[in-house]
Structure 1
């Protein structure tokens, strides 16, 4: 195996010169740098991180100590890993199995390895001397889940007290409502109370019982948190009871799984309520088992972030004790048994767009049909056909279709022309918090229209920039970029920066580029190329029409935007002028392109490890210029529908919390808070972590009205604009010529529609 001396010898330089280059201290000539990098490549030299750290203590290692990796502990690790990778920390993960002596040994081992900090779920809360000793060495510690009372240590923990209190309170209230003379029993199964997490469970349980009196008996069983040991303890406890308790509450999923197994062996039944980690699962066939979810991934993320803050500011940092509250979902009345008549199985008909979004939703239709006793039929059609079919249905007063799938730009036109049924009364009768579960920006844009509601959003499309993180963080590439342009290589924030970086990563202009193309547009006429142009237009403060109805599409701002797009195309595959978003993404995931700007609703393949060559190297950011096209699709009810109530229930079902995560996993994006805030989803789809921020940058397309105030067919205007943009991008006309011709055609259409 080659070492640093071999590299130095082959490159004919000193060992210190090689070390400086490896550590990104590139104050050397281009010839020396090239020789060293070629020697590293020839010898296939890879620095040994642990060996380097023992010698220099410059590698950023973090020690993580857990009891085990069962249940929610692995989710905590997922969160720690996510936050650590963002800041280039490396983890050394150890399990101590709740053995105090072994935990102390592991702590000492981590200190010897030179870790920068430690995250720990400790079993040794009484022996604070070892922790004080570590802190005195300027090695910060963050305690996860189990905190140490009366010490000013960094910590982050779950709100176990209130979670257990609330479920116990609800169970007791339910028992009281039955007015039964039979004594009921609830048993709490938890770990030993030397752990604060378990003590808080016990305290919440006891507090709920202190508020109640009556025929309810409580029992607390303290067991080992080890899977195998606790199985034996729980089995012995239950075997000594005359009657199986009505309910068990457990402090983690391992104990609940043991209970399920034991009750199965004994052929007994009981309700089980278990504290768990976070999960997007909504449907569980194991009757009588309820998971009380806690955001374990978020706890890991926040714990690591707290440690990083401490490391970045060791002198001024003030220790923090964070209690991670469980997020409550607003109530939704979706599955109501009395909603649909039972006397006749009705059928509703859907008019849908032919594409992945509809396919994802249709896969879940059996759930609706089984719960509501309503069958569903549908027709799928292409974009323009869908628009024309809805217009035709309204003109002819047809009831062939009950529910329409509607593109965002069409909503205003369809509401004003009377295509859609107002659903305010349905919402009022439900008297729940369904609408509050949508992201606030989404409610304003997709739902509220003139103080009334006509639609529910099924999918929101957010334009984002995706790029190759490995390329931007490669020291050799960074050095080459700096030598060429004299500025740091980083994700571009403006369209000028974007084009500069795209040029650098295009092999036609840079023979050393690791990718063939810097970027790749989705130029398909009309929608693709329009939505490449609009973000640039808005970034340069351009617009199509003024508030007074004057067309300004040929303004200086719009000419600059079109020039920018024309330049971008020079760094793209020639055929991308005919690409749809899926074609663009396919080019990116194969590693041929450094940057793309695309919609979140099309990026599932980017994060598919079977498809993408560089899953861990893909990052997302706001689109350059910080102004992107807001896209999305909504459901609305045909004003002439024969089954408006059933149609409303379908719309609500399709956009419910119960199915929003499933729909997102299948390739859509239902803009509900439980999706946006789901830490597990953000691990699978990292772009979701900042989705609320991206939604804030979204803009709607302008609508065009004639002199009488009627909204005109925007598809016609978009086709004219798209044809013009493509003429300029392909070099057939100049941007000035193109936009002047577009303006003339727009004015003729408006004039013709008024006369």
Structure 2
């Protein structure tokens, strides 16, 4: 067996040096780190992590124990816990008990032997108080999840579905409907809530024998079929059935088709599940927030690990999101025209196009989607005031004020007043950014997009990179917090300056005029204390404006030489291919990063807010053309876009909306791990729109951005130095104001 002594001998260094490299001690020179790593690779030496853990107070390992991985909810729970563990540098070990009590006991005893820091447990034996009391006394720290430890204080994260059940039962009882319940014989708090709340609600109905309409089944294919079949033997037949298992819902539909055909008795099925849609359009889904439970369970086990005892009183019950409301009345009442929608070309427009059959099936409205590149969108919208080809536009949020002032788009106050669900889920901050002009609603939020810093964490974590950075700058290598640090780190990871760099370039950049250059220059300008317009001045703080531009220009030394004319798509492609160590990018365009099929950096990158913590506000809204003759159809489209029932499907396909409530964040963070950081970054974004004290000159937002972008681009390609570019930009803006006031 290869030992450290063997590695030291081959590398020509001391045993202590090898130990320091293996354990990540930073006072080793880059040259010695390279020799040790080469010797370890040549000899096939693998550090003994278990032996190192014996010297440490914590192992940074957590066990997740679940009954099975065949039920859809437990993979979802696992993914949520795993994502949180990765963020906190914990190793997550998945253990499956198969629902067997003895096997679960064996797994937990092994957890003690392996010295794991803690366990998140979905128990199949929550009534076994004696065993759990004993194992906790032995030092095992546990957070119980979904299945509560019966009759005992414990750390527990579960569901609270009582209010949801009460509302469901109350809704159908008010309509005089008969309600049935089919649930599993499972030891969990939420199954108990299903049964107890059902019985409580139905006891109020003296005309219904609720025991007759309640079926508690074992979890197996045979009993799922029997439970479903029994519903069709009831007389009178139930109008609605609440089920806790999607498989039961499938069996209900199967028996309904076998016994009654396609035109049989219309039995409404309400499913509590992990939130996935069923193939049956009329089913109502009550998504159980397994991801949120997993996230809170991880946060709780970390708290428990940090205290001295495994006992605790950390308890949380997470409520589900409301089910998707399916409205079909529009199809029956309106003879619709064909709707034409103009969207900016992006992953979001691809998502809308993919899901469009859902809208047409609901409403009967045919829709034609036309996409344009971002650079041509504003011009196309203005041209359409004569052509009148489109009913709905996607609007870059800085344009909304100008388009509203010119009566290009409709005020939606009346629409929102009668359809409050389109906006009530959004925060006031979101509505101010995406919807309001002078207190009135002109748009519905469509796409949430924030500038973020994507960086290769695997490269930042390497000791040799940390050591070399320290030798160069006498500073610790970290995720850059200023734009000066950003360029220093970029230089470290550029092969031209560091021949051992694993990436050819330190950063990706997009210098295309006009928006690419504008969106990369402004965050630097703002963080250095400058502004284009402020306090009635043009180019506040010329010194800051020059330094910001010089910083941006320097960045191109560490980027692909072609990037002076790149747009965002080229940048993302460069980063995905593993060619660069960092990328500043709007989140909307980063959806492809996690796709392992196309990405060489999947699982290797992390996300942070931009250096300087100030970024350009991105995002798009949908607005209705003021002269559209298909206003009713357009309103139905806005209602569909705002429907939270398709939140996950939209996200998976590339469209992320600004839904910041806990349940929506849980879903979106499950799809994109950067979403939480994007929400954090949204708090510090700045709008690139013209301030009110300058708006009196009626400047065009697009014209101003074009002027800024062209001058910045000229400096990047060497036609002007930074000082001249800033002076000429001031002149351009002054001339634009004079022309607009004539």
Identify whether the pair has TM-score above 0.5, normalized to the shorter chain. Answer: yes
Give the aligned partner of residue 720 of structure 1. 707
Give 2:560's match in structure 1, choosing from 566, 573, 595.
573
Q: Is the 8 A contact 2:505 2:558 kept in 1?
A: yes
Give the aligned partner of residue 180 of structure 1. none
- State the secondary structure of the residue aligned to 1:410: helix
Give 1:627's match in structure 2, choosing from 611, 614, 622.
614
Decide whether aligned partners of structure 1 residues 245 and 55 sit closer, same or farther in structure 2, where only a CA change above 3 A counts: farther
CA distance in 1, matches of 2:697, 2:325: 37
Decide whether aligned partners of structure 1 residues 6 and 208 sit closer, same or farther in structure 2, where only a CA change above 3 A counts: farther
Give the aligned partner of residue 22 of structure 1. 22
Q: Is the 8 A contact 2:183 2:191 kept in 1?
A: no
> Bigger shift: 671-680 or 452-461?
671-680
- State the secondary structure of the residue aligned to 2:506: coil
Q: Is the 8 A contact 1:399 1:642 kept in 2?
A: no
Give the aligned partner of residue 187 of structure 1. 181
Give the aligned partner of residue 192 of structure 2. 199
CA distance in 1, matches of 2:579, 2:472: 22
Q: Tell me the number of residue pairs that the alignment of Structure 1 and Structure 2 aligns.
A: 736
Q: Is the 8 A contact 2:286 2:322 kept in 1?
A: no
Whether 1:452 aligns to 2:440 is yes
- State the secondary structure of the residue aligned to 1:518: strand
CA distance in 2, matches of 1:187, 1:660: 28
Whether 1:729 aligns to 2:688 is no
Give the aligned partner of residue 171 of structure 2. 170
Whether 1:358 aligns to 2:345 is no
- State the secondary structure of the residue aligned to 2:317: strand
Please report how far the alpha carbon of residue 557 of structure 1 lies from its aligned counterpart in structure 2 after TM superposition: 1.7
Give the aligned partner of residue 274 of structure 1. 271
- Structure 1 spans left out of the alignment, 5+ residues: 177-183
After superposition, what is the alpha-carbon deviation per residue over 1:725-745, rounded to whole angstroms, capped at 9, x for unaligned? Answer: 123223443211210111112
Give the aligned partner of residue 156 of structure 1. 157
Q: Is the 8 A contact 2:534 2:540 kept in 1?
A: no
Whether 1:498 aligns to 2:498 is no
Give the aligned partner of residue 451 of structure 2. 463
CA distance in 2, matches of 1:267, 1:336: 25
Please report how far the alpha carbon of residue 605 of structure 1 lies from its aligned counterpart in structure 2 after TM superposition: 1.7
- State the secondary structure of the residue aligned to 1:171: helix
Whether 1:285 aligns to 2:279 is yes
Q: Is the 8 A contact 2:199 2:210 kept in 1?
A: no
CA distance in 2, matches of 1:207, 1:401: 53
Give the aligned partner of residue 98 of structure 2. 97
Whether 1:527 aligns to 2:520 is no
- State the secondary structure of the residue aligned to 1:512: coil
CA distance in 2, matches of 1:649, 1:197: 36
CA distance in 2, matches of 1:105, 1:584: 50
Give the aligned partner of residue 346 of structure 1. 337
Whether 1:44 aligns to 2:44 is yes
Q: Is the 8 A contact 1:589 1:613 kept in 2?
A: yes
Whether 1:63 aligns to 2:63 is yes
CA distance in 1, matches of 2:342, 2:86: 45
- State the secondary structure of the residue aligned to 1:364: helix
Give 1:665's match in structure 2, choosing from 652, 657, 661.
652
Give the aligned partner of residue 559 of structure 1. 546
Please report how far the alpha carbon of residue 612 of structure 1 lies from its aligned counterpart in structure 2 after TM superposition: 0.7
Q: Is the 8 A contact 1:553 1:739 kept in 2?
A: no
After superposition, what is the alpha-carbon deviation per residue over 1:651-696, rounded to whole angstroms, capped at 9, x for unaligned? Answer: 3333433445433333233324579824343233111133322221
Q: Is the 8 A contact 1:340 1:646 kept in 2?
A: no
Decide whether aligned partners of structure 1 residues 258 and 83 sit closer, same or farther in structure 2, where only a CA change above 3 A counts: farther
Please report how far the alpha carbon of residue 5 of structure 1 lies from its aligned counterpart in structure 2 after TM superposition: 4.8
Whether 1:740 aligns to 2:727 is yes
Whether 1:418 aligns to 2:401 is no
Q: Is the 8 A contact 2:712 2:725 kept in 1?
A: yes
Q: Is the 8 A contact 2:341 2:369 kept in 1?
A: yes
After superposition, what is the alpha-carbon deviation per residue over 1:573-623, rounded to whole angstroms, capped at 9, x for unaligned? Answer: 111111110100100011110001011111122121111112111211111
Please report how far the alpha carbon of residue 295 of structure 1 lies from its aligned counterpart in structure 2 after TM superposition: 0.8
Q: Is the 8 A contact 1:630 1:700 kept in 2?
A: yes
Whether 1:589 aligns to 2:586 is no
Decide whether aligned partners of structure 1 residues 308 and 673 sit closer, same or farther in structure 2, where only a CA change above 3 A counts: closer
- State the secondary structure of the residue aligned to 2:538: coil
Give 1:251's match in structure 2, choosing from 241, 244, 252.
244
Give 1:637's match in structure 2, choosing from 615, 619, 624.
624
Please report how far the alpha carbon of residue 135 of structure 1 lies from its aligned counterpart in structure 2 after TM superposition: 2.4
After superposition, what is the alpha-carbon deviation per residue over 1:33-80, rounded to whole angstroms, capped at 9, x for unaligned? Answer: 343222112223333545765797863222222111112112111111
After superposition, what is the alpha-carbon deviation per residue over 1:385-423, rounded to whole angstroms, capped at 9, x for unaligned? Answer: 5433433444x5x54433333322221111112222222
Give 1:749's match in structure 2, choosing from 722, 729, 736.
736
Please report how far the alpha carbon of residue 542 of structure 1 lies from its aligned counterpart in structure 2 after TM superposition: 1.0
CA distance in 2, matches of 1:637, 1:228: 50
Give the aligned partner of residue 375 of structure 1. 366
- Structure 2 spans left out of the alignment, 5+ residues: none
- State the secondary structure of the residue aligned to 2:294: helix
Decide whether aligned partners of structure 1 residues 230 and 472 sit closer, same or farther in structure 2, where only a CA change above 3 A counts: farther
Give the aligned partner of residue 319 of structure 1. 313
Q: Is the 8 A contact 1:543 1:558 kept in 2?
A: yes
CA distance in 2, matches of 1:108, 1:462: 46
Matches within 5 A, 1:211-230: 211-219=204-212, 220-225=214-219, 227-228=220-221, 230=223
After superposition, what is the alpha-carbon deviation per residue over 1:99-125, rounded to whole angstroms, capped at 9, x for unaligned? Answer: 222221222122222222111111222
Scaled by the length of structure 2, what TM-score is found? 0.90
Give the aligned partner of residue 7 of structure 2. 7
Give the aligned partner of residue 310 of structure 1. 304
CA distance in 2, matches of 1:333, 1:240: 28
Please report how far the alpha carbon of residue 258 of structure 1 lies from its aligned counterpart in structure 2 after TM superposition: 5.8
Give 2:393's match in structure 1, choosing from 380, 390, 404.
404
Q: Is the 8 A contact 1:423 1:454 kept in 2?
A: yes
CA distance in 2, matches of 1:289, 1:334: 12
Matches within 5 A, 1:466-485: 466-485=454-473
Decide whether aligned partners of structure 1 residues 21 and 302 sit closer, same or farther in structure 2, where only a CA change above 3 A counts: same
Please report how far the alpha carbon of residue 466 of structure 1 lies from its aligned counterpart in structure 2 after TM superposition: 0.6
Q: Is the 8 A contact 2:181 2:242 kept in 1?
A: yes
Decide whether aligned partners of structure 1 residues 714 and 569 sit closer, same or farther in structure 2, where only a CA change above 3 A counts: same
Q: Is the 8 A contact 1:537 1:561 kept in 2?
A: yes
Decide whether aligned partners of structure 1 residues 257 and 91 sit closer, same or farther in structure 2, where only a CA change above 3 A counts: farther
CA RMSD of aligned residues (A): 3.2
CA distance in 1, matches of 2:170, 2:33: 69
After superposition, what is the alpha-carbon deviation per residue over 1:82-114, rounded to whole angstroms, capped at 9, x for unaligned? Answer: 111222222232222332222212221222222
Please report how far the alpha carbon of residue 640 of structure 1 lies from its aligned counterpart in structure 2 after TM superposition: 2.2
CA distance in 2, matches of 1:265, 1:507: 68
CA distance in 1, matches of 2:728, 2:551: 19
> Bigger shift: 313-322 or 634-643?
313-322
